[in-house]
């Protein structure tokens, strides 16, 4: 499996809601992105350009990706 | 990947289920409505109080309650408890107020400060250092007390909460790992029926809904839900169980459903075994239902709020 890395200087922008972090990431699938960030897919929604996408979908350059946290509350 | 019911693109996939936006929304709403009907959570003549915090679960249960109750001509309102957790509850309450205004829902707010004279932030450190109490324990007891007390005061016959499949599977496992099966006999989609005159029956319309499904529903409906996590959550046993169950669900989809279905299968036997052992008495100080002479909220109030 091709592993992707979060590298500064590439075009895919990823916002992580839980940590309120924005980072640049090489294009890859949603599942690869979550794996590289060590995020359990059960705990998040993957949103590409304001549309929910499934984990297996490809995320490309110029995409704005959000990783929304499912777990909240106390 | 397409929706299993039409040619649209699937946006939700879990355990052989593949649904597009339209069919996911129908699936969610049908599942909640079926739970309400199957367990008679809301009936004609009820006055439903929805425990609301402004988080995704409470907005979803409030919206679904509003939809169901308006259709079936059942009275309902929302009740929020302000524990006084800075940077957390104040934000979710703002979202809740806006939501209730948009949807024309009556909102009542009760607070720790007005009821106990202290906020959770004010008693948190003392609870941990001097009384060996985790903030979640203190918060849970006081919050439940205020919900019941105020629901009763406002004439509610049912108290609806946003507890979902994740919450229930976590609670079951927590009680199991602590060897406390008696407490599991008090779980289920409807609890507290005829338990005590001062106890408002609790109902959980999202009982069979995964937490992820609720987050997806609120996102697709455009409800404003910002990520806010209670700053005290990492101190709780629940957070450990939550993470473990999410790992299991990821490896073995359907785990949480399996836990709750197995629990529901065993619930009649558990209720029979512990019949009478979970009965409530009346607190000598506040008249709320409790298992001993003094309720836990009054004990905590004396320990933490009157020092």
Residues 178-217 of B with CB under 8 A from A: 211-212, 215-216
Q: Please name the helix (run of DSSP H) or strand (run of DSSP E) that holds residue B76, with its range, or none.
A: strand B75-82
pLDDT at site A10? 64
What pLDDT score was predicted for residue A1?
39
- A-contacting residues of B 90-129, CB under 8 Å? none
CA distance, residue B131 to nearest chain A CA (Å): 21
What is the ipTM score, two decimals?
A: 0.88
So what's the pLDDT on residue A6?
A: 56
Q: A69: distance to nearest CA of chain B, Å?
A: 7
| Residue A60 belongs to some domain of the structure | yes
State residue B170's pLDDT score. Answer: 96
Nearest-10 crossing angle of helices B56-72, B211-221: 70
Contact check, Cβ <8 Å, A54/B250? no
Q: What's the domain range around A41?
A: 12-69
Residue B196: φ, ψ to 5°: -165, 145
pLDDT at B281: 79
- Cβ–Cβ gap B242/A41 under 8 Å: no
Query: A19 in a domain, yes or no?
Result: yes
Residues in chain A with CB shorter than 8 Å from the CB of B250 are: 40-42
**Per-window interface: A 33-62 vs B, CB < 8 A:** 40-43, 45, 47, 51-56
- Pair A7, A33: CB distance under 8 Å: no
Residue A22 falls within a domain, yes or no?
yes
Q: CA of B110, closest CA in chain A: separation in Å?
A: 18
CA distances from B285 to B133, B148, B231 (A): 22, 16, 32
Which stretches of A1-74 are DSSP H helices? 30-36
Q: What is the chain B residue with the closest CA to A44?
A: B212
Give residue-wise pLDDT tens across range A9-63: 567 999 999 888 999 999 999 999 999 999 999 999 999 999 999 999 999 998 9
**Chain B residue closest to A20 (CA)?**
B227
- Kindly indicate the confidence band of residue A2, based on its pLDDT and cuts at 50, 70 and 90: very low
From residue B36, give the alpha-carbon distance in Å to each of B41, B69, B107, B144, B156. Answer: 5, 11, 22, 22, 17
Contacts of B22 (CB under 8 A, 6+ apart): B6, B8
H helices present in B17-134, as ranges: 21-38, 56-72, 89-103, 112-116, 120-131
- Binned at pLDDT 50, 70 and 90, residue A72 comes out as low
User: Strand pairing partners for B281?
Assistant: B290
Number of domains in chain A: 1
CA distance B163 to B166: 8
Q: How many A/B residue pairs have CB atoms within 8 Å?
A: 68
In a domain? residue A57:
yes
A41: in domain: yes
End-to-end CA distance of chain B: 61
- From first to last of its 307 residues, chain B has per-residue pLDDT tens of 899 999 999 999 998 899 999 999 999 999 999 999 999 999 999 999 999 988 899 999 999 999 999 999 999 999 999 988 887 788 888 889 999 999 999 999 999 898 888 888 887 787 777 877 887 888 888 899 999 999 999 999 999 999 999 999 999 999 999 999 999 999 999 998 666 778 899 999 999 999 999 999 999 999 988 776 666 666 678 889 999 999 999 999 999 999 999 999 999 999 999 887 666 778 888 888 787 888 888 888 888 876 5
Residue B85, pLDDT score: 85
* A3 within some domain: no
Q: Which residues of B touch A53 (CB under 8 A)?
A: 11
The second-level CATH assignment, the architecture, of B39-209+216-223+234-277 is 3-Layer(aba) Sandwich (3.40)
Searching chain B, which residue's CA lies closest to the CA of residue A16?
A: B227
B233 contacts in chain A (CB < 8 Å): 73-74
CA pair distance B66, B75, nearest whole angstrom: 9
**CATH code (residue A57):** 3.10.20.30
Closest CA to B121 of B111, B132, B109: B111
Say if A5 falls within a structural domain. no
B172-200 b/e with 16+ CB inside 10 Å = b?
bbbbeeeeeeebbbbbbbebbeebeebbb
CATH 3.40.50.620 in chain B is located at: 39-209+216-223+234-277
A1 domain residue, yes or no:
no
Residues of A in contact with B249 (CB under 8 A): 42
| Interchain pair A18, B230: CB under 8 A | no
């Amino acid at each position: 499996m091709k592993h992707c890395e979060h590298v500064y200087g590439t075009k895919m922008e990823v916002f992580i809601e839980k940590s309120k972090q924005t980072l640049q990431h090489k294009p890859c699938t949603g599942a690869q992105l979550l794996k590289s960030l060590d995020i359990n897919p059960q705990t998040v929604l993957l949103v590409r350009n304001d549309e929910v996408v499934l984990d297996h979908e490809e995320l490309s350059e110029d995409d704005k990706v959000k990783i929304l946290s499912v777990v909240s509350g106390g | 990947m397409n929706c299993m019911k039409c040619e649209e693109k699937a946006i939700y996939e879990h355990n052989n289920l593949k649904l597009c936006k339209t069919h996911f929304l129908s699936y969610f709403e049908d599942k909640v409505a079926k739970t309400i009907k199957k367990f008679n959570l809301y009936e004609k003549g009820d006055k439903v109080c929805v425990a609301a915090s402004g988080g995704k679960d409470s907005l979803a249960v409030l919206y679904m309650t509003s939809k169901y109750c308006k259709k079936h001509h059942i009275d309902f309102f929302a009740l929020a408890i302000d524990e006084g957790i800075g940077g957390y509850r104040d934000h979710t309450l703002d979202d809740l107020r806006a939501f209730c205004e948009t949807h024309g829902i009556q909102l009542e707010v009760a607070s720790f400060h007005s009821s106990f004279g202290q906020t959770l932030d004010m008693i948190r450190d003392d609870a941990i250092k001097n009384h060996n109490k985790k903030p979640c324990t203190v918060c849970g007891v006081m919050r439940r007390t205020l919900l019941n007390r105020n629901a009763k005061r406002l004439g509610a016959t049912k108290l609806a909460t946003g507890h979902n499949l994740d919450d229930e599977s976590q609670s079951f496992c927590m009680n199991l790992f602590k060897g406390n099966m008696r407490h599991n006999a008090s779980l289920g989609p409807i609890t507290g029926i005829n338990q005590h005159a001062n106890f408002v029956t609790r109902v959980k319309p999202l009982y069979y809904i995964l937490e992820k499904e609720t987050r997806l529903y609120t996102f697709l409906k455009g409800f404003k839900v910002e990520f806010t996590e209670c700053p005290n959550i990492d101190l709780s046993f629940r957070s450990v169980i939550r993470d473990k169950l999410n790992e299991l669900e990821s490896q073995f989809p359907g785990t949480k459903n399996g836990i709750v279905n197995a629990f529901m299968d065993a619930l009649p036997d558990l209720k029979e075994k512990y019949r009478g052992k979970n009965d409530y008495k009346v607190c000598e100080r506040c008249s709320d239902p409790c298992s001993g002479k003094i309720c836990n909220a009054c004990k905590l109030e004396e320990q933490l709020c009157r020092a």
